[in-house]
């Protein structure tokens, strides 16, 4: 007969162990992760790989609100307990108890780190460039676009003290731009040959690497949901309300799909979603900005589904109206 003692030193909360089966067949741990320390141990994908190498079955779950009873009390011990309770329900067969995260391979992580670093460098470059423009505006000067480029910088008509301040950032901006250019070439060279017209080389590489393995999606609903471009919904009783997109899933993938959808309006006029939304997206169309955004989101969502069909061999690009 199994007994549960609430005064065990293994738990900081009375009754925690009583929530679980007292058998010895499995040990379940809820891990509350902080940047500097853990309750109980570990962090991220590397931890999962280390545990898997020790033949430990490990799940990585999405961040979520753990205060199910809305007590408005949050501690590391309570979070660990809540995680453990969810894990117990999950292994007992309730697959909705945890929102699992797919663990990418080390190769997939290395590949996507390249374009993510480029994205970070572009962000830093824009920040430094904006700081220079703000210096101009604050002292009554008209800002010059790309003021940090060599020829433009040499021709600047500004006081010497301002030039000296701008010179503190200019070499950094030049170095950033050089590195961004090198990464851009490296990413574009990795694109698959014979891309349909309008599918930018780098954007298509970003989409492929953010997805990782296209075959992990079983149907079109899964890939559409992963993009976060599906409409939200609030329904109760006889009321049904659809709102803006859920933004659930991968934000970099979502941004790349939207960036890729706009050129298709011009380069792929026979693509089925473009035909459907042509009246709204055509140049000079009498449509509001909100209507155009709604249309391009619909095109991007369908594009993700069609890319999945192409990548997994279900259909050829020509069958979808995408020409090379």
HSE of 173, CA atoms in CB hemisphere, 13 A = 19
The answer to whether 230 and 246 have CB atoms below 8 angstroms apart is yes
Q: Same structural domain for residues 63 and 130?
A: no
Task: Tell me the average pLDDT across 254-280.
Answer: 92
Query: Looking at the domain assignment, is residue 9 inside a domain?
Result: no
Cα angle 261, 184, 190; round to 5: 80
The residue among 247, 258, 244, 241 whose CA lies nearest residue 297 is 258
In Å, how far are 27, 106, 211, 252 from 249, measured between CA atoms? 30, 20, 11, 9
Identify whether residues 46 and 112 lie together within a single domain.
Answer: no
> What is the predicted pLDDT for the residue at 23?
47
79/13 Cα distance (integer angstroms): 11
Percent of the chain scored above 90 by pLDDT?
48
**pLDDT tens digits, 308-321:** 999 999 999 888 88
CA 37 to chain centre: 25
**Rounded to 5 degrees, what are φ and ψ at 100?**
-70, 150
The CA-atom distances, in angstroms, between 24 and each of 2, 28, 112 are 10, 10, 41
- Domain co-membership, 210 together with 263: yes
The answer to whether the CB of 194 falls within 8 A of the CB of 316 is no
Residue 75 has pLDDT above 90, yes or no: no
How many domains is the chain partitioned into structurally?
Answer: 3
The confidence score (pLDDT) of residue 14 equals: 38
225, 313: one domain: yes
Q: Kindly tell me the number of DSSP H helices and DSSP E strands found in the chain.
A: 11, 4
> Residue 297 CA to chain centroid, in angstroms?
16
Average pLDDT over the chain reads 84
Of the residues 63, 91, 119, which one is the last residue of a structural domain? 91
pLDDT for 3: 39
Q: Could you give the 3-state DSSP secondary structure of residue 185?
A: helix
**Residue-level pLDDT at 5:** 39
- Domain assignment present for residue 209? The answer is yes
The answer on 309 and 228 residing in a single domain is: yes
| For residue 16, pLDDT beyond 60 | no
The range of the structural domain enclosing residue 184 comes to 106-188
Same domain (yes/no): 250, 302:
yes
If asked whether residues 253 and 304 sit together in one domain, one would say: yes
Last residue of a domain, one of 164, 188, 212: 188
pLDDT tens, position by position, 109-154: 999 999 999 999 999 999 999 999 999 999 988 889 899 999 999 9
Task: Check residue 59 and give its pLDDT.
Answer: 82
pLDDT for 48 beyond 90: no
Which of 167, 188, 209 lies at the terminal end of a domain, its last residue? 188
């Amino acid at each position: 007969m199994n007994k549960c003692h609430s005064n065990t030193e293994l738990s900081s909360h009375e009754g925690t162990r009583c929530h679980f089966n007292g058998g010895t067949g499995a040990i379940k741990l809820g891990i509350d992760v902080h940047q500097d320390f853990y309750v109980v141990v570990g962090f991220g994908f590397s931890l999962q790989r280390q545990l898997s190498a020790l033949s430990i079955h490990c799940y990585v779950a999405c961040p979520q609100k753990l205060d199910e009873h809305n007590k408005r009390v949050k501690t590391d011990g309570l979070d660990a307990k809540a995680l453990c309770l969810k894990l117990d329900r999950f292994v007992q067969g309730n697959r909705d108890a945890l929102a699992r995260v797919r663990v990418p391979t080390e190769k997939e992580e290395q590949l996507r780190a390249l374009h993510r670093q480029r994205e970070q460098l572009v962000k830093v470059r824009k920040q430094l460039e904006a700081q220079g423009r703000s210096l101009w505006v604050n002292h009554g000067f008209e800002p010059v676009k790309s003021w940090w480029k060599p020829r433009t910088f040499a021709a600047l008509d500004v006081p010497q003290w301002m030039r000296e301040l701008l010179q503190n950032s200019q070499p950094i901006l030049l170095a950033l731009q050089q590195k961004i250019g090198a990464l851009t070439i490296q990413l574009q060279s990795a694109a698959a040959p014979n891309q349909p017209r309008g599918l930018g080389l780098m954007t298509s590489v970003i989409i492929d690497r953010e997805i990782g393995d296209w075959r992990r999606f079983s149907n079109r609903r899964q890939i559409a949901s992963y993009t976060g471009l599906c409409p939200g919904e609030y329904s109760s009783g006889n009321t049904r309300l659809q709102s803006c997109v859920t933004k659930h899933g991968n934000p970099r993938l979502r941004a790349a799909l939207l960036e890729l959808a706009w050129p298709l309006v011009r380069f792929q006029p026979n693509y089925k979603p473009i035909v459907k939304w042509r009246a709204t997206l055509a140049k000079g169309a009498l449509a509001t900005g909100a209507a155009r955004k709604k249309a391009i989101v619909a095109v991007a969502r369908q594009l993700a589904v069609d890319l999945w069909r192409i990548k997994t061999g279900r259909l050829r690009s020509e069958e979808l109206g995408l020409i090379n």
